[in-house]
Amino acid sequence: MPLTAAPNRYHAELAWLGGPVPVADVMIEVVDGRITTVRPGWAPGPAERGSIRLAGLTLPGLANAHSHAFHRALRGRTHGSRGTFWTWRDGMYALAQRLDPDSYHRLARAVYAEMALAGITAVGEFHYLHHAPGGSRYADPNAMGHALLAAASEAGIRLTLLDTVYLTSTVDGEPLRGPQLRFGDGDLDGWADRAQALKTGPGARRGAAIHSVRALPGELIGAFVPLAEGMPLHVHLSEQRAENEACQARYGCSPTELLHTYGALGPDSTAVHATHLSDVDRSLLGDTETAVCVCPTTERDLADGIGPARALADAGSPLCLGSDSHAVVDLFEEARAVELDERLHTERRGHFGADELLMAATVCGHRAIGWPDAGRIAPGHRADLVTVDLSSVRTAGAEPLAAAVFAAGSADVTHVLVDGRPVVRDGRHATLDVARELSEAIGAVWP
Ligand SMILES: [Zn+2]
């Protein structure tokens, strides 16, 4: 799908340009993958019939700021005997043992294509499945990372490879064992040597990640932060109370305080989950403008709890969204869950407006994974457009912006443009039979 040199004109019946209500009849002109003109109230004249009409509501591309692509193969497979956290984690480790660069490439391509169908135009892949079983190196030590980069390119979406350091298995510094041996680079030099050799092409960039305070001792967090200079830095934070308790026992502080002590918080950093926080933790995250990526459908699947999303946003942390374990790939569902979970928790409605939730799904998510020129329908921005059907059985009759956030599902996405290239048309992926690819790729890892 080469970029087109001639201007492409789109006529959005309704487009969300960032305000509280969408705008009617918006002409969006695209040149070489960038938006060059946005003109509301546009009616194509007889000589301008060449424009492509987008019926429904057109949004900027959605950013999935937290993904572990391989977890998609666990969907619907961890609920036997009702399921516990451990049935999920045992399944995840068993799955991690089965993948090689070829099978991971096929699986990830299908997963990223599923994301494209859901309107996701860029993904932050929190990647720690680096090495062969037992921890031995592939001939290309980045074979798994390169498989993910190829998968995203073939699926038509951008990818930030959040290359994850994972050196220990507990807060007390126990060594990696069994399936975890695939995750480890031995030491920080091992991580840096491998990570710096990663080759990214167009539509991809590098980021860094600390798996969690379980996986990197405090003093090494301080040594790792300079290695991540100039890149997005992500970290799983206080997803479960047990992590907080172990951190208090070892360091006498919370995981957030530990990260702050070693300089890992800041506007280029994103804390993933941030579920179980103290008032001090929330202030540290907000004061440092650390973004927080909430992953409500995974957090409910794993019984993690409900994080303080409103309080974090009020403290100064930009919120973004991730589908994480891919129990569900639907950022509309993630967005509305941020509000609906607060309602359940507080027994009160009205914490987030639909436009705030869309900001989390678009501009804040893109910024968190290193694409600050994406996530808005505005001149100069990347031409990522996502059109939502407002006449489906789910969305018919709803107010347009509320339809997208509180009623739509990923199946309501009809058209997706990524960097000016049409990736989804009429609800179908331009090049891949996504359901068949998912079925075959997952069938291959669970024969
Ligand atoms: Zn995660």
Per-residue model confidence as pLDDT tens digits over 14-42: 999 999 999 999 999 999 999 999 999 99
CB 224 within 8 A of CB 210: yes
Q: What is the pLDDT of residue 2?
A: 45
Kindly give the distance from the C-alpha atom of residue 280 to the centroid of ligand 1, in angstroms, as a whole number: 23
The pLDDT tens digits of the residues spanning 57-80 come to 999 999 999 999 999 999 999 888
The pLDDT tens digits of the residues spanning 136-145 come to 999 999 999 9
Q: What is the pLDDT of residue 4?
A: 45
Q: What is the pLDDT of residue 83?
A: 76
Dig out the tokens for 189 from the structure.
Answer: 């030099």
SS3 sequence of the chain: CCCCCCCEEEEEEEECCCCCCCEEEEEEEEECCEEEEEECCCCCCHHHCCCEEEEEEEEECEEEEEECHHHHHHCCCCCHHHCCHHHHHHHHHHHHHHCCHHHHHHHHHHHHHHHHHCCEEEEEEEECCCCCHHHCCCCCCCHHHHHHHHHHHHHCCEEEEEEEECCECCCCCCECCHHHHHHCCCCHHHHHHHHHCCCCCCCEEEEEEECCCCCCCHHHHHHHHHHHCCCCEEEEECCCHHHHHHHHHHHCCCHHHHHHHCCCCCCCEEEEECCCCCHHHHHHHHHCCCEEEECHHHHHHCCCCCCCHHHHHHHCCCEEECCECCCCCCHHHHHHHHHHHHHHHHCCCCCCCHHHHHHHHHHHHHHHCCCCCCCCCCCCCECCEEEECCCCCCCCCCCHHHHHHHHCCHHHEEEEEECCEEEEECCEECCCCHHHHHHHHHHHHCC
Kindly give the distance from the C-alpha atom of residue 411 to the centroid of ligand 1, in angstroms, as a whole number: 24
Kindly give the distance from the C-alpha atom of residue 424 to the centroid of ligand 1, in angstroms, as a whole number: 27
Q: How far apart are CA 42 and CA 403, in angstroms?
A: 23
Dig out the tokens for 347 from the structure.
Answer: 């027994």
Kindly give the distance from the C-alpha atom of residue 90 to the centroid of ligand 1, in angstroms, as a whole number: 15
Q: What is the mean pLDDT of the chain?
A: 95
Which residues are known catalytic residues?
273, 324
Q: What is the pLDDT of residue 7?
A: 63
Confidence band of 88 (pLDDT split at 50, 70, 90): confident
Kindly give the distance from the C-alpha atom of residue 426 to the centroid of ligand 1, in angstroms, as a whole number: 31
Cα distances (angstroms) measured from residue 270 to each of 165, 199, 273: 15, 23, 10
Kindly give the distance from the C-alpha atom of residue 278 to the centroid of ligand 1, in angstroms, as a whole number: 21
Q: What is the pLDDT of residue 48?
A: 66
Dig out the tokens for 163 from the structure.
Answer: 């290359």
Kindly give the distance from the C-alpha atom of residue 275 to the centroid of ligand 1, in angstroms, as a whole number: 13
Kindly give the distance from the C-alpha atom of residue 353 to the centroid of ligand 1, in angstroms, as a whole number: 26
The pLDDT tens digits of the residues spanning 292-332 come to 999 999 999 999 999 999 999 999 999 999 999 999 999 99
CB 245 within 8 A of CB 203: no
Calculate what percentage of the chain has a pLDDT beyond 70.
Answer: 98
Closest residue by Cα to residue 22 from 35, 3, 46, 41: 41
Kindly give the distance from the C-alpha atom of residue 398 to the centroid of ligand 1, in angstroms, as a whole number: 33
| Residue listed under structure tokens 């303080």 | 308
CB 274 within 8 A of CB 312: yes
Average pLDDT over residues 263-287: 98
Strands 158-165 vs 204-210: parallel, antiparallel or unpaired: parallel
Q: Is the per-residue pLDDT at 259 higher than 50?
A: yes
The pLDDT tens digits of the residues spanning 363-393 come to 999 999 999 999 999 999 999 999 999 999 9
The pLDDT tens digits of the residues spanning 405-422 come to 999 999 999 999 999 999
Q: Is the per-residue pLDDT at 221 higher than 90?
A: yes
Kindly give the distance from the C-alpha atom of residue 389 to the centroid of ligand 1, in angstroms, as a whole number: 30
Kindly give the distance from the C-alpha atom of residue 386 to the centroid of ligand 1, in angstroms, as a whole number: 25
Q: What is the pLDDT of residue 50?
A: 77
Confidence band of 44 (pLDDT split at 50, 70, 90): confident
Confidence band of 49 (pLDDT split at 50, 70, 90): low
Q: What is the pLDDT of residue 45?
A: 74
Q: Is the per-residue pLDDT at 437 higher than 90?
A: yes
Closest residue by Cα to residue 338 from 312, 363, 374: 312
Kindly give the distance from the C-alpha atom of residue 48 to the centroid of ligand 1, in angstroms, as a whole number: 47
Q: How far apart are the first and last CA of the chain?
A: 34
Kindly give the distance from the C-alpha atom of residue 436 to the centroid of ligand 1, in angstroms, as a whole number: 26
Q: Phi and psi of 65, rounded to 5°? A: -80, -5
CB-proximal residues (5 Å) to ion ligand 1: 324
Cα distances (angstroms) measured from residue 332 to each of 72, 118, 344: 18, 9, 18
Q: How far apart are CA 163 and CA 169, in angstroms?
A: 17
Q: What is the pLDDT of residue 89?
A: 85
Rounding to the nearest 10 degrees, give the CA dihedral for residues 275, 280, 282, 285: -110
Q: Is the per-residue pLDDT at 108 higher than 70?
A: yes
- What global pTM score does this model have? 0.97
Sheet (strand 233-237) strand order: 62-67, 120-127, 158-165, 204-210, 233-237, 269-273, 291-294, 319-321
Q: Phi and psi of 381, rounded to 5°? A: -85, 160
Q: How far apart are CA 108 and CA 442, in angstroms?
A: 10
SS3 sequence of 279-318: HHHHHHHHHCCCEEEECHHHHHHCCCCCCCHHHHHHHCCC
CB 427 within 8 A of CB 117: yes
Q: What is the pLDDT of residue 6?
A: 57
